[in-house]
Each structure stands twice: as structure tokens, then as C-alpha cells.
Amino acid sequence: MTQHSVEGVMKVLQRFAKCPICTKRTVLVVPPDVINKAERFPFTVKVKHEDHYFYINLDSQAWITDILHPELVE
């Protein structure tokens, strides 16, 4: 039986989202430690996409709960 060390390996989560600005479907690469600094949930994250940006809300498991247009957040 072979043993594999996972020490020092960071698992990256891939989430799918439809951009509210350009309506393109995109894959978001979410580092799981992004929610470590959250004081409460949902946790809002700004996402840069092409030449614009939008926001997503993440739950405690880093799943997307909302995809938000910047006008709703700012």
C-alpha cells in the first residue's frame, strides 16, 4: 500500500458562476482558506472578470450562495 503525504498541499475549489455583467459562464478558482478571515456568513468576495468585476457571497463551505452585480453592493 502506498502512502501519500498531503501536508503542504492546498486544495483549490472550482465554482461555476454566470457573470451578471457580460452573462458569460466562468469557472472561479476559490482557495478554501478565503473563508478563514470571515467573521460572519455569507462572506462577500469581489471577483475580477475580464475588464470588469462582480461579487459573490460564499457560505461556510465556500459554496456560492449569491452572484451580485456591483450596483447592488456598492
pTM (2 decimals)?
0.77
Cβ atoms of 59 and 38 within 8 Å: the answer is no
| Order of strands across the sheet that contains 64-68 | 43-49, 52-58, 64-68
- What is the rounded CA–CA span in Å between residue 10 and residue 8? 6
Query: What are the Cα distances from residue 70, in Å, to 35, 48, 53, 60?
Result: 20, 11, 7, 22
To the nearest 10°, report the CA torsion of 23, 25, 31, 33.
50
6-31 pLDDT per residue, tens: 444 456 778 888 999 999 999 988 88
28-42 pLDDT per residue, tens: 888 878 888 899 999
